[in-house]
Structure 1
Amino acid sequence: MEDWLILTVTGVAILAIVLMIVKLRINPVVALVVGAAGLGLATGMGAGGTTETLMQGFGDIMLEVGLLIAWGVLMGSILNETGAIRRLVDHLLRVFGPRGVPYALGLTLGAGLQSIFLDVLLVMSAPLARRIAPHLGKYGTAKIATTMAISLECGIVLMVPGVATLALAGLLSVPLGKMLIFGLTVIVPTIIISITIMNFLLTHGLWKADQDEQPVADDDGTAVAAEEAPSEPVQAAAVGEKATSQGTKVGLLPHPVGQGKRSPGKEPPLLLLFAPMLLALVLIAAGAILEMVGLASPVTDFLAAPVIALLIGLLGTSAVARYTIGRARVEQAVVSGFRESGQILILTGAGGSLAAVVAASGMGDILGKYFTAGSFAPLLTVWFIAAVLHIAVGSVSISAITAAGLLAPVAPQIGLDPVLIALAAGAGSLFLVHVTSNTFWLLQSMLGQTTKGTLKTCSLGVSVASVVALGCTLVLGLFI
């Protein structure tokens, strides 16, 4: 088949997937598989070859990241149940001054808490963030809302163990330790620079309090001022339930905050609660560093293997939680975590199926003729594709996985490091978070913003982060 025809058929297949999701309201998993099957048949792979490639692609990515996603989500679910997130955010807001709070909160949410399911993390931290907003001055609501939007969305696609980050690493066969190190290298400056840019814009005419802010409604619908916003877990849960009418996935939060009653005398230090998760990330990063300098050994290779490191983190988190909240609530958190991880795993696998068909169609050979490892063209292309897909579909994970899958065959052809494609795809998938996103409506309803205000703090703020992350990735590409 001619090159131009393969490119055209692939473009039509991607467009068909978007239309099925957006216009026909077909489940994204089904749409991805249908589109991949159509692409395989149209490019001459035949019925047998197409189905075999679909299944192989699904299985390959599950082999890479299936258990990793499960371990990460379960760890996050247990941490949420212990109340660790509430305590950590509350501590940050008390320790750092008005100027430092946005950056401290942003880096913590984006780079440190990505094992927590995004909607849960937002519901947990929003009431506390809303409480501190008045202390940040006239533009407090805008600054806090922007910080949360940028950090939450960046973390899911740029930082291990964010579920989309794990999927991208598996899809592109990037060692997880390497993804962790380079993801951290990109996400830290992205969050700091993006918050700085948005704070400047917000305080120089962008934010209009009378148009962009609205009273926060409490559980019975009465308005409360931001400084009076509830901070207790049970009240936060009520706000979370309120937000479901704005687009959050009902069922993901069977216990919206997951705190319940704290066990008197059994609340351990925050460092102890997070120590197992931090240990897992340190093991993964250390393994990658030891391998780079040639000091790896069978013991370090085993302990640093992501599936083992995250399992150690999960077991440690579970042990601490049993002491803190009891076995029954830990088991309840595990059930909730399995419910959340199921849909993530299937979506990731469907993305892997599409990527496998794209690779088998010969896209790598075609694009390899036009790209070179020394140019920025492949990274700009994957960023642009992910951005367009996100605008159309509204899913960060789908757009990142699909864009990376399209460009994955290019990496071995031209010698481009796959981690750069993963980061560029993640950056592009952040562009223009808007009304199709659950995060958009949660931020709007829980932080006292109008829709117009949310378009500024969330849509514009995360778009700025998308461009900044691309810039950081291009700079990183000069050195690897």
Structure 2
Amino acid sequence: MSDTAILINTAVAIVAIVVLIVRFKLNPLIALVLGGCYLGLAAGLGAGGTVDAVTTGFGDIMAEIGLLIAFGVLMGAILRDLRAIERLVEKLLRVVGPKRIPHAMAVTISTFLQSIYLDVLLVISAPLARGIAPRLGKYGTARMATALAIGLECGIVFTIPGVGALALAGLLNVPLGKYLLYGLIVVIPTVIIATTVMSLVLTKGWWKPELDELPAEDTGTDESADTTTGAEPDDEPSGGGVAAAGGRETTTLERRRTRTEPHLLVLFAPLVVALLLVATGALAEVAEWENPVVTFLSSPVIALLIGLVGTCLVGRRYMGQPKVEESLGSGLRQSGQILLLSGVGGSLAAVIEAVGLGDILGKYLSASTWAPLLVVWLIAALLHVAVGSVTISAITAAGLLAPVAPSLGLDPVLVALAAGAGSLFLVHLTSNTFWLLQSLLGQTTRGTLKTCSVGVSVASVIAMGPILALSLVL
């Protein structure tokens, strides 16, 4: 079959996937498999070859990242039930103060908390952000909503073990330790700069509280809840026997809770150890240092398994075994859709590779004649605008680009990061994250378009700065 026919059939398959998801509301899992089957049959693989490509691609990506996704989500489920997120945000508020909390919260969410399933992380952290918002003044809601949106979405695609990052690394055959290191190099400055830019824009007249925020009576929240986020001593009432008694009672309760709850370092130590082991393996590989023990312990599956076992032990100590089992059951239910989506992304990538699209596009996307990373970003951005899901667009873009990566003359980690950056562009009305942020932060749809859609799009563009800078040295 001619190159032109393969290109046309590939374009038809991608458009069909988007139409099936957006117009006919077909489940993305089914749409991606149907698109892969059409491409294989139309491009001449035949029935047997198409089925082999679909099933082999699914199995290969599951072997690469299946256990990693499961272990990460299970760790996150236990940390959620240990109140790790609430306590971490309270600690950040005390350490950095209200003025810097948007940046601190965004960086923390985008890095250390990515083992927690996105919707769960959002539902837990949004009320905390909303409680902090009044202490930031007139634009508190705007600043906290933007920081939350940027941190959540960037973490998915740039930080291991974020589900998008795992899928991108697996589909493009990037070692997870390498992705972890370079992902952090990209995500930290991206989140800080994007949050700063949006804070400046929103506080210079673009945010209109009367139009962009829901009235208090429409949100079902009590502004007095702010006291749960760690009010400073100066904010507390003084004088009066009742107040004093209340203060003594609160202090007693806090001391009692401190005795029964583990220190934050204990909660997050297993996850931090796991990530450090993965990073150690990456550094050892760069230094060309080989040690059997280090190689074994730093392999991502073993490292995250160690993290999961450690988190289970912490949970068992402070929650009891029945509660840990309940948390693990919840985590398994959450991981099912993520695993299937990642698997069918591998199926699509295998079909695209089998029909020879990589060799064809390699003729036109060489590093000497094009800016290939910008093309990668654009493909992922267009897919996200059409589909509306960061994870689905990142996986689809990676599946499309995986066979092409060797032909670009670039390190695959750069292609993966560029696809991740593009998949962040224009989070909009078809995204579940959009509507959760709208309702949980008390924003109107107009306000959410500013904080979520524009905020994450700014981060998508800014992320290409460090990615292009890395391309100069890799």
TM-score (norm 1): 0.91
Q: Which amino acid aligns with 2:200?
A: F
For residue 132 of structure 1, report the CA deviation from its aligned partner: 1.1
User: RMSD value over aligned CA atoms?
Assistant: 1.6
Which of 458, 461, 479 aligns to 2:473? It is 479
For residues 303 and 266 of structure 1, the distance between their equivalents in structure 2, rounded to whole angstroms, comes to 32
Conserved in 2, the CA contact under 8 Å of 1:133 and 1:227?
Answer: no
Partner of residue 228, structure 1: 225
Which of 421, 444, 448 aligns to 2:438? It is 444
Give 1:27-42 correspondences, 5 Å limit. Answer: 27-42=27-42
Aligned residue pairs total 448
Q: Which amino acid aligns with 2:403?
A: P
For residue 412 of structure 1, report the CA deviation from its aligned partner: 1.7
For residues 377 and 13 of structure 1, the distance between their equivalents in structure 2, rounded to whole angstroms, comes to 25
Which of 397, 400, 411 aligns to 1:406? It is 400
Q: Provide structure 2 residue ranges, at least 5 long, that are not aligned to the other structure.
A: 230-255
* Deviation per residue, 1:339-385 (Å, 9 max, x gap): 01111101110111001111111111111111223566321122111
Q: Which amino acid aligns with 2:225?
A: E
Give 1:83-94 correspondences, 5 Å limit. Answer: 83-94=83-94
For residues 283 and 258 of structure 2, the distance between their equivalents in structure 1, rounded to whole angstroms, comes to 42
For residues 138 and 366 of structure 2, the distance between their equivalents in structure 1, rounded to whole angstroms, comes to 49
Secondary structure at the aligned position of 2:260 is classed as coil
* Deviation per residue, 1:114-150 (Å, 9 max, x gap): 0001111111111111111111122111000000000
Q: Which amino acid aligns with 2:428?
A: H
For residue 222 of structure 1, report the CA deviation from its aligned partner: 6.9
For residues 223 and 180 of structure 1, the distance between their equivalents in structure 2, rounded to whole angstroms, comes to 40
Structure with the larger helix share = 2
Partner of residue 52, structure 2: 52
Partner of residue 107, structure 1: 107
Partner of residue 151, structure 2: 151
For residue 215 of structure 1, report the CA deviation from its aligned partner: 3.2
Q: Which amino acid aligns with 1:366?
A: I
Partner of residue 257, structure 1: none
For residues 190 and 222 of structure 1, the distance between their equivalents in structure 2, rounded to whole angstroms, comes to 31
Compared CA separation, residues 288 and 80, structure 1 to 2 (3 A): same
Partner of residue 264, structure 2: 270
Compared CA separation, residues 376 and 471, structure 1 to 2 (3 A): farther
Conserved in 1, the CA contact under 8 Å of 2:219 and 2:442?
Answer: no
Partner of residue 236, structure 1: none
Q: Which amino acid aligns with 1:22?
A: V
Larger Rg: 2
* Deviation per residue, 1:405-452 (Å, 9 max, x gap): 212222222432111111011111111111111111111111111110
* Deviation per residue, 1:269-317 (Å, 9 max, x gap): 0000000000000000011001111222111000000000000000000
Q: Which amino acid aligns with 1:349?
A: G
Which of 392, 416, 425 aligns to 1:422? It is 416
Partner of residue 467, structure 1: 461
Conserved in 2, the CA contact under 8 Å of 1:93 and 1:129?
Answer: no
Give 1:333-344 correspondences, 5 Å limit. Answer: 333-344=327-338
Conserved in 1, the CA contact under 8 Å of 2:53 and 2:350?
Answer: yes
For residues 470 and 166 of structure 1, the distance between their equivalents in structure 2, rounded to whole angstroms, comes to 19
Compared CA separation, residues 198 and 376, structure 1 to 2 (3 A): farther
Q: Which amino acid aligns with 2:134?
A: P
Give 1:46-445 correspondences, 5 Å limit. Answer: 46-216=46-216, 223-224=220-221, 226=223, 228=225, 231=228, 265-373=259-367, 377-445=371-439
Conserved in 2, the CA contact under 8 Å of 1:127 and 1:231?
Answer: no
Q: Provide structure 1 residue ranges, at least 5 long, that are not aligned to the other structure.
A: 233-261
Q: Which amino acid aligns with 2:267?
A: L
TM-score (norm 2): 0.92
For residue 99 of structure 1, report the CA deviation from its aligned partner: 2.8
Conserved in 1, the CA contact under 8 Å of 2:134 and 2:226?
Answer: no
Q: Which amino acid aligns with 1:13?
A: A
Q: Which segment drifts farther, 383-392 or 298-307? A: 383-392
* Deviation per residue, 1:155-205 (Å, 9 max, x gap): 011100001110111111100000000000000010011011101110112
Secondary structure at the aligned position of 2:63 is classed as helix
Q: Which segment drifts farther, 453-462 or 361-370? A: 361-370
For residues 17 and 227 of structure 2, the distance between their equivalents in structure 1, rounded to whole angstroms, comes to 42
Conserved in 2, the CA contact under 8 Å of 1:173 and 1:418?
Answer: yes
For residues 189 and 375 of structure 1, the distance between their equivalents in structure 2, rounded to whole angstroms, comes to 29
